[in-house]
Amino acid sequence: MEPAVPRPVVVNTPTPAEPPVVQSQLMPATHSTTTVTTVPLGAEMTLAGRPNFDIKRAYEGRTGNALDYSWVTGQLYHIHADGGLWVVRYAPLDKEDRFGGSVVLSSTASMAGCREGDLVTVRGEVIDEGRASKFLGGPAYRASSIDLIARTAD
């Protein structure tokens, strides 16, 4: 017999003006797989359990990229995978973009003085023929310079 684990169960049918009532009850576990998600400091979790990489409202209209990706201006995220990765999100999630709206900075980039959530302009080039990082959707980007545009509020 499988061990019982708490599972949420909706106990009413919500109307548009009323949220669902959820209770935990013990139900048999269907499997023993545990998923751990590392969430960057500035990212919120979505209901689907994925980090939210939306660009802050204060930065909307200030992000973008050159046609050849020789520069990108976007919000910094720090991912705690593969020894720590910095990601620049330069396009909203719903905008169609060749690289999905973000690049992963190569380890050669100096991040001194940068903080997660900052708005930065990064100059450089997409490397590895634009292949995506094994942890994230964006390609590796070799930065030749990083300029702070706006500091995130603590």
Could you list the residue range(s) of the whole structural domain that residue 123 is in?
A: 44-150
Is residue 62 included in any domain, yes or no?
Answer: yes
Is residue 82 included in any domain, yes or no?
Answer: yes
Amino acid letter for position 52: N
pLDDT in tens, 131-150: 665 556 689 999 999 999 99
pLDDT in tens, 76-100: 998 887 678 899 999 998 899 989 8
Is residue 56 included in any domain, yes or no?
Answer: yes
Domain at 107, CATH number = 2.40.50
Question: Does pLDDT of 56 surpass 70?
Answer: yes
Strand residues in the chain grouped as ranges (E): 4-10, 22-28, 44-45, 51-52, 64-65, 71-79, 85-89, 102-105, 119-126, 140-150
Is residue 85 included in any domain, yes or no?
Answer: yes
Question: Does pLDDT of 123 surpass 90?
Answer: yes
Name the token pair of 142.
């070799």
User: How many domains does the structure of the chain reveal?
Assistant: 1
Name the average pLDDT for the chain. Answer: 74
Is residue 139 included in any domain, yes or no?
Answer: yes
Report pTM: 0.63
